[in-house]
Amino acid sequence: MRFMLLLKYDEAAQMATPPDPAIFEEMGRFNTAMVDAGVLLAGEGLMPSAQGAVVAFDGEEPTVSDGPFTEAKELVGGFWILKVDSLEEAVSWARRAPFRDGERLEVRRVTEAEDFEGIAPQEVLDAEEELRARAAQQHGG
């Protein structure tokens, strides 16, 4: 199973104080441990919301709002995708993350094609799997 760990935080509080340089070493050790265990599929940090946009689908035409997203209480600041056997294992990895007070990791299972068997038409599921394989091949996966 794949799980996504979503780093959530208060952007205003984060931007008020620069990160401690030691966090980069701690994060490197955390990421290395996941790679060594064979569970890390992907992981990235995200730039501040001032460098982003929101596309909202509330009518006939999508609307775009540029960042920063000051109305949001929490923002996603990064993510990891893990391949593990259970939610408990994903949570175990999340608990090892080197974060400060006020930061949270939300752990969510990533859907797989088989989650929609009997719901979505089989040809749609097959086409989705083919697209995933093509995308992985295009990007060296």
Both 88 and 126 in one domain: the answer is: no
To which H or E segment does residue 91 belong? helix 87-95
Give dist(CA 130, CA 141) in Å, integer.
13
Looking at the structure, tell me whether residues 28 and 94 fall in a common domain.
Answer: yes
Any idea what the CATH number is for the domain that residue 69 is in?
3.30.70.1060
- Residue 62 has a pLDDT of 96
Residues 120/129/1/55 CA torsion (nearest 10 deg): -70
Q: How many domains does the chain have?
A: 2
Q: What is the pLDDT of residues 74-94, one digit of tens each?
A: 899 999 999 999 999 999 999
Residues 69 and 134 in one domain: no
Q: Indicate if 79 and 11 belong to the same structural domain.
A: yes
Q: Are residues 48 and 103 in the same domain?
A: yes
Q: Three-state DSSP class for 65?
A: strand
Cis peptide upstream of residue 68 (ω within 30 degrees of 0): yes
Low-confidence ranges of the chain (pLDDT < 70): 13-16, 141
> Helix or strand or coil: residue 89?
helix
Question: Do residues 134 and 74 both lie within one domain?
Answer: no
Task: State residue 73's pLDDT score.
Answer: 83
Looking at the fold, whether 31 and 88 belong to one and the same domain comes out as yes
Q: What is the pLDDT of residue 100?
A: 77
Question: Which helix or strand (DSSP H or E) is residue 106 part of?
Answer: strand 104-109
The answer on 71 and 11 residing in a single domain is yes
Structural domain harbouring 78: 2-110
